[in-house]
Amino acid sequence: MPLPENIADAAARLVALHGPDGFTMDDLARESGLSRATLYRQAGSREAVLAALSEQGVEVGQRVDARERILAACRVVFTRAGFEAATLEDVAREAGVGPATVYRQFGDKKGLISSFAGHIGPRRAMREVALHPTGDLRADLERVASTVMRYAAEDLDLLKLAMLERMRGGPWAEFLNTPPMRARTILTRLLESYAASGALGPHEPQRMAQAFAGMIFAFVSGPVLEGGPLPDPEETARFITHVFLDGLASTARRTP
């Protein structure tokens, strides 16, 4: 349906100032001088407003998928309020979508937190390494370790919240535990491929993956829980991989 002129003008101003994904219906209600109820009655949803603007020739640019906007909003809301206090309405408001959109995409808060935990983790990058090994075991393990370290450095506050939730056995712990388990499965597959080629000794790949992941966690957990910056991802990845593959004893001492 065509937008009333006052709403169309207000929406066009907000798009020009903040972009198509940078305003909420609350912002539009204030800008147009209407109540939320009146705005929704006259204009419909936020998506309908943008569609109507586009039909009127207003450039609304490239839209970010609603699911991606919601997951990006989770980072802001969960870091600010924590997993327990945050609501789907808070996330919807931050994402600039209606609560119904969040429920439609994720079902409930459990589904949202589980999807978010998988979205921000290093699993995607790790899968790329596991599915396309270079043939250089050391280089691939360094890539895995540095990827995880960089991810941790970008989300220290959020990672701390997740770790504390797991440690206290909070109600959201089980939904935060699933992505790390999947990441360990991906690492296991990588080590299985190298074990099959003879590049690794006759050890159980799952246990090797657990050991390697534990070494990475040791370098992440201290700074996260005690404060302070993480060590350099690349240098730390090289050190972890060296200890994992070569041990700490010098070559001379290990040679009979």
pLDDT of residue 239: 95
Q: Specify the pTM.
A: 0.60
pLDDT tens string 52-74 = 887 777 777 655 578 888 888 98
Q: Do domains 5-55 and 121-254 have the same CATH topology?
A: no
Please, what CATH class does the domain formed by 66-118 belong to?
mainly alpha
**Which residue matches tokens 């839209």?**
63
pLDDT of residue 123: 65
pLDDT tens string 165-201 = 777 777 776 766 654 446 788 889 899 999 998 888 8
Lowest mean pLDDT among 92-106, 147-161, 181-195: 147-161
Q: Whose CA is closest to 54, among 87, 92, 15? A: 15
pLDDT of residue 63: 55
Q: Whose CA is closest to 25, among 41, 8, 46, 7? A: 46
pLDDT, greater one: 57 or 235: 235
**Which residue matches tokens 């609350």?**
26
User: Is residue 255 scored above 70 in pLDDT?
Assistant: no
| Domain 121-254: assigned CATH number | 1.10.357.10
Which CATH superfamily hosts domain 5-55? Answer: Homeodomain-like (1.10.10.60)
- For residues 229 and 187, what is the distance between their CA atoms, to the nearest angstrom? 26
Per-domain residue ranges for the chain? 5-55, 66-118, 121-254
pLDDT, greater one: 152 or 37: 37
Neighbour-count burial of 20, counting CB atoms closer than 10 A to its CB (0-12 exposed, 13-18 middle, 19+ buried)? buried
pLDDT of residue 138: 95
Average pLDDT, the chain: 82
Lowest mean pLDDT among 54-68, 136-150, 240-254: 54-68
pLDDT of residue 91: 92
Neighbour-count burial of 113, counting CB atoms closer than 10 A to its CB (0-12 exposed, 13-18 middle, 19+ buried)? buried
Q: How many residues does the chain have?
A: 256
Four-residue CA torsion sign, 31, 33, 59, 1: positive
pLDDT of residue 256: 45
- Quick one: average pLDDT of 219-247? 87
Q: Whose CA is closest to 196, among 129, 109, 135, 118? A: 135
